[in-house]
Copies of this chain bind each other. A is one copy, B any other.
Amino acid sequence: MAVLKSEMPLSIVLLSGGMDSCVTAGIASKTSRLACLHVTYGQRTKAKERKAFEDIASHYGAAYTLILDMPHFATIGGSSLTDLALPVRTTGIDETNIPDTYVPFRNGNLLAVAVTWAEQLHARYIYIGVNEMDSSGYPDCSASFIRAFSKAANTGTKPETHIIIKTPLIKLNKCQIVSKGMSLNVPFEKTWSCYQNEDVACGQCDSCRLRLKGFREAGFADPIPYHNLLKEKNVE
């Protein structure tokens, strides 16, 4: 017997507007009412990501939405995503080093505010679309980090607050994420992943490369526009 939407538990979904968080929202929406949380942190593609967030949250009929600005990532600096003086790398993914798009402890900060909102809304779950495989090696995307943060979240909130952090994509690669999303009819056309452009995706930054590789390997066409289809064929 189908569960009524109003009887489903409430889940916070960290929704950047990228494909991973959109697939995560699609998964969460099967068993939860959604409270969608979007954080702008001075990243280059802020306006486009915010539009993607709004479109996706609306697509899933979110019960709550919250957009927060955390300008301190840009104030502190250290990442080419927020420091406009640093170029975004477009030369391909180096498996051995953490790239300079790494925003120090970003997911620690995002999960912290998600825990604040979850405690306030009495939400049972926090969904975050991290994945270990194709995460550019960011340390705050690992399963061990999520486990450790989950312990901190439940130790540092009221005794009656019990929050479960769900990471349905953690063991998937981009190809599997695309396949999963396609099987759930997630609105990939509403998502945005490019690190540097807001109109037509560059196809060259790490995020575009990982996304295009995922779609290619899954055997689907990526519905968003790319700057140069010739370049797309060369990325890996």
**Chain A 112-141 per-residue mask, 1 if CB under 8 angstroms from chain B, else 0:** 110111011000000000000000000110
Are A152 and B151 also in contact (CB < 8 A) when A72-B116, A76-B116, A76-B120 are? yes
B152 touching A152, Cβ below 8 Å: yes
Are A139 and B159 also in contact (CB < 8 A) when A72-B113, A117-B76, A119-B78 are? yes
- A22, CB-defined interface residue at 8 Å: no
Are A108 and B156 also in contact (CB < 8 A) when A70-B70, A73-B116, A148-B148 are? yes
Query: How many copies of this chain does one complex carry?
Result: 2
Taken together as a complex, chains A and B put the C-alpha atoms of A104 and B117 apart, in Å, by: 8
| Residues on A facing B (Cβ under 8 Å) | 66, 68-73, 75-78, 98, 102-109, 111-113, 115-117, 119-120, 139-140, 142, 144-145, 148-149, 151-153, 155-159
- Rounded to whole Å, the gap between the CB of A70 and the closest CB of chain B is 7
Taken together as a complex, chains A and B put the C-alpha atoms of A113 and B70 apart, in Å, by: 10
Closest chain B residue to A143 by CB distance? B155
Which residues of chain B are within 8 angstroms of A156 by Cβ–Cβ distance?
105, 107-108, 139-140, 142, 145, 148-149
A140 touching B157, Cβ below 8 Å: yes
Taken together as a complex, chains A and B put the C-alpha atoms of A157 and B76 apart, in Å, by: 15
A66 touching B76, Cβ below 8 Å: yes
Which residues of chain B are within 8 angstroms of A139 by Cβ–Cβ distance?
155-159
A151 touching B153, Cβ below 8 Å: no
A-B contact pairs, 28 of them (CB 8 A): A66-B75, A66-B76, A68-B72, A72-B113, A76-B113, A76-B117, A78-B119, A102-B158, A104-B115, A104-B116, A104-B117, A104-B119, A105-B116, A105-B153, A105-B156, A107-B156, A108-B112, A108-B153, A109-B112, A109-B113, A112-B112, A140-B156, A144-B155, A148-B151, A148-B155, A149-B152, A149-B156, A151-B151
